[in-house]
Amino acid sequence: MSKNALIIGIRNEKSLSYEIAKELIKKNYSVYATYQDESTLKSVKEAADELGIKAIYQYDARKDSDLESFTDALKKSGVKLDVLVHGIAYSSTPGAKLNQLLMNISGDEFTDAIRIGAFSLLEVIGKLYENINENASILALTSRWSRVAVPGFNVIGAAKASLESIVRGLAEDLGRLKQIKVNALSSGPVSTTALSSLGNSLSILEAVRTRSPLKRNVSKEDVASLAMALIENNSISGTIYQIDTGLEIMGV
């Protein structure tokens, strides 16, 4: 019997979630995905068709109605999930206000960032709990920006910090309830739409390349390979694995 995976976070073929979906499909998973709204439907649909994704559902993580309708549709189709990948963040959301000082961020912008980047994981699991199999694997995509300040991007850091804490909390809850493993992967910067929303993605990638001991950036294929290894391992839970060609270990 084929296994099922839901991936939240494919924006286009440059997304990390896209690469992970590709890997899952290679391993015979039936993959379901979401798109945020009409503005991203075309690029997600193209990516989904190319990969052979079974169905895509509209889900803007800021909207209660979307959460309701997308999880209902998935439940009605009778799909039981073995894998859930969470790869959405405020930075990949069209219209997100980035590159501003933390002190100038409004309450609404902040709560949007937290809901999309972190709390949505809890909401989706809450709605789909009965449709998640025992021993399932949940994987969230995070970044080192949860622990270091990046000018103009600190609202994402706050959401990622929250996400990582939620990963540990869920690992405890869902492990006891259903033997479900929950982990996160913390990737060094890769060229995605979310990264380019910063406006200076090329100089970020260049800075990382220069500083990393291996003098290169992380490849998306390698991130997807580690994602699969985490998803299919039965002795790993609650972890945040860094994959960054060694950038994090470098001091000044």
Partner 1 sequence: MARRKNALVIGIANESSISAAIAKELYENGYNIIPTYLNERALAHVKKVTDQLGVETLFPFQAGDEKQLQDITDYLNENDIKIDVFVHGIAFASEIKKNLHEVSWTSFKEAVKVSAFSMVEITRKLIEEDVLNPDSSILTISYRGSQVAVEGYNMMGPVKNILEALVRGLASELGGKGIRVNAVSPGPVMTRAASGINGFSSLIEAVKKTSPIGRTDRMEDIGRMSYEMIHNPSINGTVYLVDCGESVVFSVK
| Per-residue buried b or exposed e for 191-214, using 16+ beta carbons within 10 Å of the residue's own CB | ebbbbebbeebeebbeebbeebee
Q: Residue 238, interface with partner 1 (CB under 8 A)?
A: yes
Q: Residue 66, interface with partner 1 (CB under 8 A)?
A: no
Asked whether 113 and 61 are in contact (CB, 8 A), the reply is no
* Closest to 34 in 3D by CA, of 56, 61, 66: 56
Stretch that binds partner 1, among 14-22, 95-103, 142-150, 217-225 (CB under 8 A): 217-225
CA-based torsion, 247, 154, 183, 141: positive or negative: negative
- Taking the complex as a whole, the smallest distance from the CB of residue 236 to partner 1 amounts, in Å, to 5
Count of C-beta atoms within a 10 Å radius of residue 77: 13
Q: Considering only residues 17, 36, 92, 245, which one is a binding residue for partner 1 as defined by CB under 8 A?
A: 245
H runs (alpha helix) in 188-219: 193-196, 201-211
Stretch that binds partner 1, among 26-34, 44-52, 85-93, 212-220 (CB under 8 A): 212-220
Q: Considering only residues 55, 102, 205, 236, which one is a binding residue for partner 1 as defined by CB under 8 A?
A: 236
Binding residues with partner 1: total (CB under 8 A): 39
Cα 10 to Cα 106: distance, rounded to the nearest angstrom: 27
Q: Residue 208, interface with partner 1 (CB under 8 A)?
A: no
Q: Residue 172, interface with partner 1 (CB under 8 A)?
A: yes
Q: Residue 243, interface with partner 1 (CB under 8 A)?
A: yes
- Taking the complex as a whole, the smallest distance from the CB of residue 14 to partner 1 amounts, in Å, to 17
* Closest to 187 in 3D by CA, of 208, 207, 167, 165: 208
Gyration radius of the chain's alpha carbons: 17
* Closest to 57 in 3D by CA, of 20, 10, 113: 10
Count of C-beta atoms within a 10 Å radius of residue 67: 18
Q: Which is nearer to partner 1, 109 or 248 (CB)?
A: 248
Stretch that binds partner 1, among 76-84, 86-94, 106-114, 210-218 (CB under 8 A): 210-218
| Strand, helix or coil for residue 56 | strand
Q: Which is nearer to partner 1, 39 or 233 (CB)?
A: 233
Cα 97 to Cα 90: distance, rounded to the nearest angstrom: 9
Q: Residue 213, interface with partner 1 (CB under 8 A)?
A: yes
Q: Considering only residues 191, 200, 201, 242, which one is a binding residue for partner 1 as defined by CB under 8 A?
A: 242
Q: Considering only residues 48, 85, 171, 208, which one is a binding residue for partner 1 as defined by CB under 8 A?
A: 171
Stretch that binds partner 1, among 95-103, 105-113, 138-146, 237-245 (CB under 8 A): 237-245
Note the residues at the interface with partner 1 (CB under 8 A).
168, 171-176, 179, 181, 188, 212-215, 218-219, 222-223, 225-226, 229-230, 232-239, 241-246, 248-250
